[in-house]
Amino acid sequence: MTQQFWSSRRHHTAISRVGLSLPARRAVGDLPLERGTRVLDYGCGRGGDVRALQHLGFDATGWDPVHFPKGVREPAEIVLLTYVLNVIEDPTERRETLLRAWDLAKTVLVVSARLRWERNQIKGTEYSDGILTQRRTFQRLYAAGELRDYVEETTRVRCVSAAPGIVYAFKDDEARLGYLARQITPDGGWLASKNTASAITSVVAHLEQRGRMPRLEEMPQPIISLLSHLRPAELKRLVEQEADPVKVERSADRAALDTLLFLALELFYGRGPVSSIPLPVQLDIRAFFPSYTEACQRADRLLLKLRDDAYVRRAMNGSTAGKFTATALYVHRRALHRIPTVLRLYEQCASIAAGRPGEWSVVKLRHQGRGASWLDYPDFDTDPHPRLAASYAVDLKTLKSSFTSYANSTNRPLLHRKHEFLADDDPDVPKYRRLTEAEVRAGLYKSPHLIGTEEGWERELVRCERELRGHRLVRRTTSG
């Protein structure tokens, strides 16, 4: 098909990119891409992503009906379909395009589209199921959950929302579960090794991080070669002698909980066969549970607990990290791994349903009803009272998501008592707590309903004759 048959000017939608697009950047971070992995950018526009991916060492090619009609359109491990679906005004052609890209994907298809919340940035009139812009381009905007449902219906596989407007469709369960496992326990990597001693140190680090000895298949080839002269029992003895037993035990406890989290999430999706579970998780199950059945039963109970309001509220109230309020628990992303497993499951389920946004610092988990919001405070670390830039919320009952930007607001919501969002042993907590105490002494928290936004807070600072210098509260020298 050539552009003259289109009723909209699709070719005008392709912009010149410097650096990777958001969906491609996300895919590079999330998926098991190695140098030389084949990536096809289907509907690549002016080819900015293709060039950036080649620069990163991937075997990337692109095809576009207008800009690269002679480009290669051959199967690849990873196929990107970046902001293509939303420019196609004919629903039948849109579906065929998605299916063509899906056919070409060997492992995963990464579909991205513009979202409804961008509606006010687009000037135009309603046309078919989208908008015809003033430049006569077409834009079909999706709700975050709607895009995932659409890709699921069309490809007939279960998909993951990687971020708002970005959906991964995996060709097999193994690839999808590998992605899930990496989300829960990011690969710790291996220390570089030059000789037997450093290879043993590397295995010790693995044991201390994962709570169990690695299997040969999990080790990188150079380490296997360096240790090949040792019998397995001998290697185990040497490694266990060197490892810190407290660290090993703590990691074993965490790994067991991570395993439950993985199995519960898998059920949330529909559980696949054991053989499709990634090897490291299979080995964790063997190391930390009496059997796979037992591990699954415990994971099922965990998922059931998520439905129990009283249980969830108690877990939030007892959490050693995060701020518990009348409606929700608020946790900084640095402390997320410290909250009870049932609450981590809560956040993971929400993120798989709606896609966790790239930029966020605090997550809010409601205990009345089920819903999560990821809140973006870009200056959380440096601003004593961080201002909210954006919030992305998902309701877990309806799976509806919404986005609110405060970029143009002159009276943004702001945070107080920053230490409460973190775990107690976070290195920044003492500094934040000192500030809160000084603010309480100065009478700044006497009227909590007045201080939730910038203007009210500033008025209270003036009233109490105080101002902030970094994280210190001082007497006001400037006039209000």
Ligand X SMILES: C[S@@+](CC[C@H](N)C(=O)[O-])C[C@H]1O[C@@H](n2cnc3c(N)ncnc32)[C@H](O)[C@@H]1O
DSSP 393: E
User: Could you tell me the smallest distance in angstroms from the CB atom of residue 7 to ligand X?
Assistant: 12
Q: Please tell me what DSSP assigns to residue 129.
A: T
* Least gap, CB of 113 to ligand X (angstroms): 10
Q: Which of 8, 20, 45, 142 binds ligand X (CB under 6 A)?
A: 45
Q: Which 333-372 residues touch ligand X, going by CB under 6 A?
A: none
The span of 37-45, 234-242, 392-400, 428-436 binding ligand X (CB under 6 A) equals 37-45
Residues touching ligand X: how many (CB under 6 A)?
22
Ramachandran quadrant class, 63 (left: phi over 0; alpha: psi -120 to 50; beta: rest): beta
For ligand X, the binding residue among 22, 28, 56, 66 (CB under 6 A) is 66
Q: Which listed residue (32, 65, 272, 456) binds ligand X by CB under 6 A?
A: 65
Among 9, 28, 59, 67, binds ligand X (CB under 6 A): 67
Binding mask 6-35 for ligand X (x = CB under 6 A): ----xx-xx--x---x--------------
CB of 179 to ligand X, least distance (A): 22
**Closest approach of Cβ 78 to ligand X, in Å?**
14
Q: How far is the CB of 220 from ligand X (least distance, A)?
A: 35
CB of 145 to ligand X, least distance (A): 22
8 Å CB contact between 39 and 62: no
Nearer to ligand X, 116 or 254 (CB): 116
Instruction: In whole angstroms, give the CA distance from residue 136 to residue 199.
Output: 61
Residues in the chain: 480
Q: Mark the segment that binds ligand X (CB under 6 A) among 81-89, 139-147, 291-299, 360-368.
A: 81-89
CB-CB neighbours of 121 under 10 Å: 8
Binding part of the chain for ligand X, among 63-71, 225-233, 329-337, 457-465 by CB under 6 A, reads 63-71
C-alpha to C-alpha distance for 45 and 13, rounded to whole angstroms: 8
SS3 content of the chain, % helix, strand, coil (to 5): 45, 20, 35
- Asked if residue 165 binds ligand X (CB under 6 A), the reply is no
* Site residues (CB under 6 A) for ligand X, limited to 83-112: 83-84, 87-88, 93, 97
Task: Yes or no: say if 144 and 113 are a contact pair by the CB < 8 Å rule.
Answer: no
Residue 80 DSSP symbol? E
- Estimate to the nearest angstrom the gap between the alpha carbon of 382 and the chain centroid: 23
Distance from C-alpha of 34 to C-alpha of 435, rounded to nearest angstrom: 46
Contact 205, 243 (CB under 8 A): no
CA distances from 97 to 39, 43, 80, 119 (A): 17, 9, 12, 24
Contact between 184 and 265 under an 8 Å Cβ cutoff? The reply is yes
Distance in Å, CB of 68 to ligand X, minimum: 9
Q: How far is the CB of 166 from ligand X (least distance, A)?
A: 12
Q: Which residues bind ligand X (CB under 6 A)?
A: 10-11, 13-14, 17, 21, 42-45, 48, 64-67, 82-84, 87-88, 93, 97
